[in-house]
Structures are given as C-alpha cells and as structure tokens.
Chains A and B, each alone.
Chain A
Amino acid sequence: MARKRPPRDPSKALRRKVVASRRVGLDASCSCGEKRPGALIPGTKPTTCAACQRAKTGQTPMDDHHPFGRANSSITIPVPVNDHRARLSIDQMDWPRSTLMNAHGSPLLAAAACVRGFIDTVFYLIEESLLWIPDMLELLDDFQVKKLGQQWWVKTELKRFAPKRKPNDKS
C-alpha cells in the first residue's frame, strides 16, 4: 500500500529532503525516536526534536497550522509540532510558490490553495488515523486464526459483521 503521495516536483522535493537531512547530521534521531529531519532541531546536542524541546521548556507541543497557507486564509488547526514541521509545511512547499505566497491576494489562487490544503489535510488525517488500521486488523485476524481456528468469530457477537454468503459459495 502506497504510504505517501508522489511529490509534484520530485527534483525540488529531493533537494529539500537531502538538505534537511544534512543540516541535522547523518542518521540523526531524537531520544524519543523521532527521525524525520524536518522535526529535528539543527545544532542541538544531543539531537532533539521540536516536541521534546517544547516539553523541556514547558511549552505546548501543539502548533497552529494554516492548512490553506497564511496568505490565503487565517483559518488554523492545531497539529503536533513535529508533524507541522516535518509533514504539513513540507507538503505546502510542494505547492506552486505563487499559490502559497499569493502576493497580490488573487481569489483564484486562494481557491486553489483551499483545494490543495484540504487535500493535504485529508491525506494527513488518513495516514495518521486510518492507514494503520487495515494492517492491524489483518494481523489480529492471523492471531485469532492461530489461537481459535479458521472460523473464530462463529460463536461471538462479531458474527453479525461476517460477510453474508450463499451456502455453497467458497470464494
């Protein structure tokens, strides 16, 4: 299953990724396990991520993210600081610069930004909240089959969720 959408401009996306990795050093990671270069703070010893840094200084680990770009809408949503830096803002870097900056306040570019921002946010939510579930369900099914047999759900309340089939249908 593809976990990430391909970037709009692969060359620029690669440049951003490589430069961000170089700034924090080779194979850098925070003690909390955060490895995404965008979330790590360059120059910290030992390497620390933005969320851990905030926790250390007693600040909130949440950021207000402008999903449609600051220039296009004042709407913000609270997101974890690490995701804001390493994921959502990076996604916006992939937008056309004119749309993100919207220097002259064009309504068409603002509309384009709303669509792009909505897509990015929905993908983020899907990846963060849904994408892990099918993997987990499949693992759990394997576990149940090994433990309770092929039709482990038959005498449980989960039976009502089983797909309805004709008696001879084996597929």
Chain B
Amino acid sequence: MTNHEIKSLPIGVRVFPAPTDVDGNTRSKKEWRQPAGMLVIHTEGSDDAAQKLLLGSARLIIAGQCVEECLFHSVLAKAALRTVKKYAEHHAAETGAGGFKQLRLLNLREFVKVFYDLAYKARCLVVGSNLPVHLSRLAFDSAPARGFFAGGFSLGLWTYTDRNGRERLDGFRPRICIKYIDNKRAFIGFTARYSPDKEDLIPEGSATGEPQAGYIFPGHFLDLRTLAFALTDEVYSLEGACEAFGVEYEVEPALSRSFITKEYIDATRRTVSASSELARKLLDELAKHPIALPPTQAFSPASLGKAYLRAMGIETTL
C-alpha cells in the first residue's frame, strides 16, 4: 500500500460506570406475574368537544378465556336507552365454555363498582387501546395531580349519594392519576384512599400476606398503543396494530355518534374483542424476550433495551 493518508473516523463510545451505591438501586427484583384476570375496556364518546361517555363495552378474561361481557352507558336519551336494552336482551355474551352467557347491561355507576372490584380489589390487568381516554370517560371528577403525577390529571371515578340526594365524590375510593409523557405513553396509577382494607395493604407478590402500612397499590394499567410502540418502535392506531399483529378487526365506516344503533353497539363490542386478541398477541410477543419486564412498564423500545442490559448483569445509569 502506498497511500498512507490518515483518515479520521468518528467513534461513539457508551460507558456504563459501576454505580457507587449499588444498594441504592430501588428497582424491585421480584418477578412480575400476570394478574389472574384481565379487564379489557373500550368506550365511545359523544360528538361534541367534551367527548363524554355514551356507551362502553368490557370483557373479563381469565386464563385466556372470556368469562363475562358487559355493556355500560351513561345517561342516555330514552330512545337510545331502549335500543341498548333491547340489544342486551337479544344478544348473548361472547364468552367461553365456562363463562356467563348473559350480556350484562350496566349504567356507569354500576360499571365503576365492577371496575373497582376488578381493577383495585382483584388487581386485574386493565387493558385498552389509548387507555387514558377511556379511563377519563369513566370519571366523575378531575383535578390536577400531585406528587409523582404532578403535571397530570387526577380522576375521581367513584361517588355516593348524600342525604340531600346529591352525587358526591367518594373519598374511601382511590383516584386514578394519569400523566402523559408524550402522545403514545402515559403513567397511570391508583392513589391512596381513606381507610384501606387490610388486604389492600398487602404488597403485590407478597410471600407472607402481611399488610404493610402505607402501601399503595398502583394498579396494572396496560395501554396497548404503548406496548405496541415498545415492541415495534412504530406508533400504531388500534386498526394498524391489529393488522401488524395479525388480529382480525373490521373497521366500521364512520358511524354517526348522534344516535345509538345496533351497528354502533356491534362495532363497540368488536373493538373490545379485537383489543383482547391484540393484548394476547402483544403479551405473547413480549414473553418471547428473555427479560423480566412487566408489560405495564414497557414504555418504549429503550425499556426493552434496558431490561436486556439488566438481564446481562450490566448496571445502567440510564
């Protein structure tokens, strides 16, 4: 070789220095176990700017099988309510062999009680595509969040009726806080509540079952859009994610939201069905990775990368 010209090349070096206080790592070493039940929800909002809840649908899935399906609604006009009631009477729930065959119809207040039982008491995985929007449609009250969620919203879902017949926020129930990171990711969690029961103070995955004073169950909220983004680095709509992961989902041509029809209810139920199938596929996809990363904490492809580094025993400073 005669050409001895020296060329400079850019070199990138990433360094992971060993942290000085290894004990300071607060990340839980416990293996995440998928909750016993999965509650999949979807709501439809009104046409106006507020996009208040009109109708929603939910499915309870246990051991991969749908065991209960329900429709829920807010205060509806008489004709719309008649349509929904008639629909629920004439359609069976799409449950498996051991499931509850009746399609339950609940008003919003009844549904949030079921939601409390499942999401907070039974600590189910709450699943939805663009979940913060659906949760906000269940809310009775909202306020600016504090603490970890500062800058976000705090939603009050549960109410009671006082002596004067007024609906008031129930302080003996937790609130749900939502803080958006960007348009595809948000932190979602329960807050504390007054007088929690002993079993609510038992930390998740406790081997002894002993209550721990001050423990706050944060909830298991899984936004399908976030998990799909973490797995693929693509921002998908529900239809796009279904197509990418091979889930059959027929998108309805734009249905009018001004009045509720059988087709409208069918479309809502189909969306929940597609969401549950998509959740199963995404969870299966995540399970292929040999990492201990809860799906509720997979916020981006970087979350997976960091989980891989941890699995390799490399302490990251990120």
A→B interface (CB under 8 Å): 2, 4, 6-12, 14-15, 17-19, 21-28, 42-43, 45
Please give, as numbers and ranges, the residues of chain A lying within 8 Å of B97 by CB-CB distance: 2
Residues of B within 8 A of A23 (CB): 199, 202, 209
B210–A22 contact, CB under 8 A?
A: no
Partner of B209, one of A2, A12, A14, A24: A24
Interface residues of B in 203-240 (CB under 8 A from A): 205-210
Q: Which of A7, A11, A24, A27 contacts B114 (CB 8 A)?
A: A11
Residues of B within 8 A of A (CB): 35-37, 60, 62, 67-68, 97-100, 114, 117-118, 121-124, 199, 202, 205-210
Instruction: Report the Cα distance A14→B206, complex, angstroms.
Output: 19
Contacting pair A14 B124 (CB below 8 A):
yes
Chain B residue contacts of A21, Cβ below 8 A: 36
Interface of B is mostly: loop
Q: Which residues of A contact B122 (CB under 8 A)?
A: 11, 14-15, 17-19
The residue that B123 contacts in the complex, of A2, A6, A18, A24, with Cβ under 8 A, is A18
A168-B152 Cα distance, complex, nearest whole Å = 79
Report the separation of the CA atoms of residues A28 and B202 in the bound assembly, to the nearest whole angstrom.
15
Residues of B close to A24: CB separation below 8 A:
209
Our pick among A2, A15, A43, A45 for the contact of B118 (Cβ within 8 Å) is A15
B114: nearest chain-A partner, CB-CB: A11
Partner of A14, one of B37, B199, B207, B210: B37
Contact A12 B210 (CB under 8 A): no
- Whether B206 contacts A25 by the Cβ 8 Å rule is yes
The 8 Å CB contact of A25, one of B36, B124, B208, is B208
| 30 CB < 8 A contacts A-B | A2-B98, A4-B98, A6-B99, A9-B100, A10-B62, A10-B99, A10-B100, A11-B60, A11-B68, A11-B114, A11-B117, A12-B117, A14-B36, A14-B37, A14-B60, A14-B62, A17-B122, A18-B36, A18-B121, A19-B121, A22-B206, A22-B209, A23-B199, A25-B206, A25-B207, A25-B209, A26-B205, A26-B206, A27-B207, A28-B209
Beyond A43-B209, A45-B208, 5 additional pairs, beta carbon < 8 A: A2-B97, A11-B117, A12-B117, A14-B37, A25-B207
Decide: B98 and A6 in contact? CB cutoff 8 A.
yes
Measured between beta carbons, the chain B residues less than 8 angstroms from A19 are: 121-122, 199
Chain A residues whose C-beta falls within 8 Å of the C-beta of B207 in the assembled complex: 25-28
Rounded to whole angstroms, the CA-CA distance of A24 and B210 in the bound complex is: 8
Complex Cα–Cα for A19 and B199 (A): 7
A11 touches B118 (CB 8 A): yes
Please determine whether A10 and B210 come into contact, CB atoms closer than 8 angstroms.
Answer: no
Please indicate the chain A residues that have their CB under 8 angstroms from the CB of B98 in the complex.
Answer: 2, 4, 6
A8–B99 Cα gap in the complex (Å)? 9
Instruction: Provide the bound-state CA to CA distance between A7 and B117, in Å.
Output: 16
A21 to B99, CA, bound (A): 22
Pairs of residues from A and B, 3 with the lowest C-beta to C-beta distance, nearest first? A25-B209, A6-B98, A10-B67
Which A residues are CB-close (under 8 A) to B124? 14
Of chain A, the residue at the smallest CB distance from B30 is A26
Contacts of A22 in B (CB 8 A): 123, 199, 202, 206, 209
Query: Please, which residue of chain B has its CB at the minimum distance from the CB of A2?
Result: B98
Closest to A27 in B: B207
Contacts of A4 in B (CB 8 A): 98
With contacts A2-B98, A15-B117 known, is A10 near B206, CB below 8 A? Answer: no
Asked if A42 contacts B209 (CB within 8 A), the reply is yes
Give the CA-CA distance A146 to B60 in the complex, in Å. Answer: 45
How far in angstroms is the closest Cβ of chain B from A43?
7
B192 CB → nearest A CB, Å? 18
Contact present for A14 and B202 (CB under 8 Å): no
Residues of B near A11 (CB, < 8 A) are 60, 68, 114, 117-118, 122
Give B217 Cβ to nearest chain A Cβ, in Å.
10
Known A-B contacts A11-B68, A18-B123; A6 and B209 likewise in contact (beta carbons under 8 Å): no
